[in-house]
Homo-oligomer: A and B are copies of this chain.
Amino acid sequence: MESTSKHHVAHPFWPRDLSIPNYVPNDRSMSEILTFLFSVSGVFLLATWGITGRENASGRLGVWRRLAVCWFAVCGFIHGVIEGWFSLYYEVIPADQSFLSQLWKEYSKGDSRYAIADNFTVCMETITAWLWGPFSFWAVYAFLTNKPYRFVLQLIISLGQLYGAVLYFYTEHRDGYAHSEMGHPIYFWFYFVFLNALWVIIPLVLIVDAWGQLSGAQALTDNARSHKSKRT
C-alpha cells in the first residue's frame, strides 16, 4: 500500500477530491506538449496548403476552400491520432508516461473527464476518432479530386463534430464545470473553452457552406428536371 490514502493521491485534476489512485505525474513540460501539438498540426496545415494550391482537372481551388481542406487535414490528425490514442488507452493514461498519454494528462487539467475515463467522453471520443478522423482525410481527398460527394462529406463530418462538441460542453455545463478549475486562464479558458469552441464555430460555418452548395446544386437539378418534363 502507498503511504497516501487511496482517495487522496496528489494530482492536478478537479474536483480536488477526485480519486485517481494510479496517477503518475508527467515528466514532459506543458511547452513540450503544446509545441508538439501545434507544430504537427502546423505541418499538416502547411502541407495541405501546398497540395491544394496545385491546379487539378477541375481548375484551381479558392483560398477559402483551400483553408477548409487544410482544416480537414488538421482534423484528421487530431481526431485520428490524438483522440485515437485516447480511445485506445483511456484506461491506462493516468499511469502511463507515453508522450500522447502525457498530452492527455496535461489536457485533463482542463477537463478531468479524460483522466477518469468518463463514459460519455469515451464514447464520443471513440466515435470522433474512428469515424470523423478517417472521414476528415477522405474529405481532403474528395476536395482534391473534386468528387461529387465532397460537400456531403463536409456536412456529415461537420455536423458530427458540432453535435459531439455541443454534448461535450452541455454535459459539463450541467455538471457545474466540476471537472476543471473554473476561470483558470489556461486550463479552463484555453484548453477547455477555446480549443473545443473551434469545433463548434468552424463546423457551423462549414455546415452553412455545405447547405448553400448542396441546395444550389439541387435547385439546378430540380430546374433541369422540370424543364425536361415540360419539353416531353
With both chains docked as a complex, state the minimum distance between the C-beta of A163 and any C-beta of chain B, in angstroms: 5
Q: Which residues of B contact A59 (CB under 8 A)?
A: 229
Contact call B123/A174, Cβ cutoff below 8 A: yes
Q: How many copies altogether? A: 2
Contact call B221/A216, Cβ cutoff below 8 A: yes
Complex Cα spacing A174 to B146, Å: 40
Which residues of A, 142-171, contact B by the 8 Å Cβ criterion? 146, 148-152, 155-156, 159-160, 163-164, 166-167, 170-171
A119-B171, A120-B171, A149-B211 given; name 20 further pairs at CB < 8 Å: A119-B120, A126-B170, A127-B163, A127-B167, A148-B215, A148-B218, A149-B215, A150-B218, A151-B214, A152-B155, A152-B210, A152-B214, A159-B160, A159-B163, A163-B163, A214-B217, A216-B221, A220-B220, A220-B221, A220-B224
Q: Is A78 an interface residue (CB 8 A)?
A: no
Contact call A123/B171, Cβ cutoff below 8 A: yes
With both chains docked as a complex, state the minimum distance between the C-beta of A226 and any C-beta of chain B, in angstroms: 6
Within 8 Å by CB of A174, from B122, B156, B167, lies B122
Q: Which residues of B contact A149 (CB under 8 A)?
A: 211, 214-215, 218
Contact call A152/B211, Cβ cutoff below 8 A: yes
Of the listed residues A148, A150, A216, A219, the one surrounded by the most CB atoms of chain B closer than 10 A to its CB is A148
* Binary contact readout A198-231 vs B (1 if CB under 8 angstroms, 0 otherwise): 0000000001001101111111111010100100
User: Which residues of A come within 8 Å of B, CB atoms?
Assistant: 58-59, 119-120, 122-124, 126-127, 146, 148-152, 155-156, 159-160, 163-164, 166-167, 170-171, 174-175, 207, 210-211, 213-222, 224, 226, 229
Q: Chain A binding site: helix, strand, loop or mixed by DSSP?
A: helix
Of the listed residues A210, A219, A220, A221, the one surrounded by the most CB atoms of chain B closer than 10 A to its CB is A221
Complex Cα spacing A58 to B230, Å: 11
